[in-house]
Chain A
């Protein structure tokens, strides 16, 4: 039985109360503007939530990564890692929206939707029951549809929202169909019992079990942006309000990975099937197509959208080799945490550029290094961290991912090829990251420095400290990730 002070329930109470109260306050106060008032409330709620997660970890009230539970949610370290990553991104988004939302109406609704979507993401990571997972998944998705289309007068924002909505609704329809099959086959919606039911399934029903796992991969794959399901992603990221892009790329994508690890990776181990090869092929396709498409882009947001597709591929390497190497999931979780900060930071930097200069075309970024020095420096650092340049934080997680692929090579002949593909793709990605850097620092005549938004600078400096600090001294994060990684073995039983 879950205690009332357990992390997910407290986060839900804090963010839910504030999220519901914000629009009510705005109706009672009867004013349109005062963006800062609501931003500060949302910021405080998120800080308190992060503080509570940290407090629970420090007091050792958190169970080691459990994965299964009798209840619908479990307060374990695995969920805690995702909760921290998502709350950090939500914090970045809230702070990054501060200047952006000055120009737009109804800030109270905007911040309230960010908080509600954050509850959904956090609960996806904590849930151990398919019903809870589905409800949390929708709680995450529905507010983000509205947030993407938040700028009603802007056709591209609306178009982005329509595309995102169609694919998102299809993904939840496929997930609920997969859940219905899993429920019919095993007679339960608890993930532990479903996995146990799969392991004792009648062989004649095995194709249906495969179909249900395939539907989960497709459904979660839409949100993660894996390659056959990625078409909506660049359009949506480009058209969405710039801070919301950070929320989509860095947080909702991670919720997809949390759900995948809870269901598919374990299902894969129990069903004794060669899902690893399928996931490996998807991983290589995802990163290659993502990086090649990114090189051809002329728009910075779109380029980073494709790069975020590529990163889903890197993370998937760890999931694919998870049954054969203990490092696999650890590397994936580490990269998920790092990628949340790196991508969040990169997209908030873009939000800063959009807010002050209103450009996203790469040719127009010339001389940005002098016009907005702090934002440009932070963007460069996040790009190099994404490419995996030492000594930034992204290097260690990529090292661990590729190392896990090599480690699995002893039992899986094709696993080292995943590492090779990953390294080649990282080199490829450095090409276009380097190109952006060249445009910003070495081209264009000297222009006057413009005033950078203070809120954006705060985000940039915080995340730069994270990336450089944990790049030079990665020990604490590595230990934390190791604590949060579930142990997978083939005799796994709930």
Chain B
């Protein structure tokens, strides 16, 4: 059981890093990385819990989640390419046309 604690601690640390990255960074791609880190923390959790349970549901969900995260990143990067063509930079602090 003590190994499970190790995995969970790493996962919580990754969650913290992800949230820190989202809060501090203003570069869109870095923020995307931060979100990916949170998703991977969850995947680590799922795989680690799945290892200690008698069935493989956790590993299956982790596979689903990796595939879905890839699709999400593809959409996010294509959006940022469109933005880069207009603004020539990927700093979200510059995207301020909408407010009120």
Contacts and interface: CB of A to CB of B under 8 A. Distances in A.
Given A170-B22, A184-B49, A188-B57, A135 B68 contact: yes
Contact of A302 (B39, B61, B95, B100): B100
Given A142-B72, A159-B98, A183-B57, A149 B42 contact: no
A135 B64 contact: yes
A369 interface: no
Interface stretch (A13-21, A172-180, A315-323): A172-180
Contacts of A183: 46, 49-50, 57-58, 61
Contacts of B75: 142, 145-146, 165
Contact of B97 (A146, A156, A161, A189): A156
B79 A161 contact: yes
A134 B46 CA distance: 14
A180 B57 CA distance: 11
A180 B49 contact: yes
Contacts of B45: 177, 180-181, 184
A238 B98 contact: yes
A234 interface: yes
Interface residues of B, number: 43
B98 A189 contact: no
Contacts of A390: none
Contact of B60 (A131, A161, A234): A131
Interface string B20-55: 001000001001100100110111011011100100
Interface residues on A, range: 35 or more
Contacts of A188: 57
B86 interface: yes
A459 B63 CA distance: 42
Contacts of B58: 180, 183-184
A364 to B, nearest CB: 15
Given A159-B83, A176-B39, A234-B100, A169 B76 contact: yes
B53 A187 contact: yes
B100 A131 contact: no
A474 to B, nearest CB: 36
A130 B65 CA distance: 12
B61 to A, nearest CB: 5
A158 interface: yes
B9 interface: no
A235 interface: yes
B22 to A, nearest CB: 7
Overall SS of chain B's interface: helix
A235 B98 contact: yes
A155 interface: yes
B79 A134 contact: no
Contacts of A196: none
A186 to B, nearest CB: 10
A216 to B, nearest CB: 13
B13 interface: no
A297 B49 contact: no
A191 interface: no
B100 A155 contact: no
Contacts of A180: 11, 42-43, 45-46, 49, 58
Contact of A131 (B64, B82, B97): B64
Interface string A137-177: 01001100110010010011011111101100110111011
Nearest to A170: B35
A102 interface: no
B10 interface: no
Interface in B86-100: 86-87, 92, 95, 97-100
A165 B76 contact: yes
A197 B46 CA distance: 17
Residue of B15, B42, B43 ringed by the most chain A CB atoms within 10 A? B42
A156 B65 CA distance: 30
A239 interface: yes
Nearest to A148: B79
Interface string B61-84: 100110010011001100110110
A173 B18 contact: yes
Nearest to A296: B100
B41 to A, nearest CB: 7
A166 B80 CA distance: 11
B28 to A, nearest CB: 7
A138 B46 contact: no
A160 B60 CA distance: 34
B61 A134 contact: yes
5 contacts: A145-B79, A162-B92, A166-B31, A173-B39, A180-B45
Given A142-B75, A170-B35, 6 more contacts: A134-B68, A174-B38, A177-B42, A180-B43, A181-B45, A183-B46
The 5 A-B residue pairs with the shortest CB-CB distance in the complex, in nearest-first order:
A180-B45, A184-B49, A173-B38, A177-B42, A235-B98
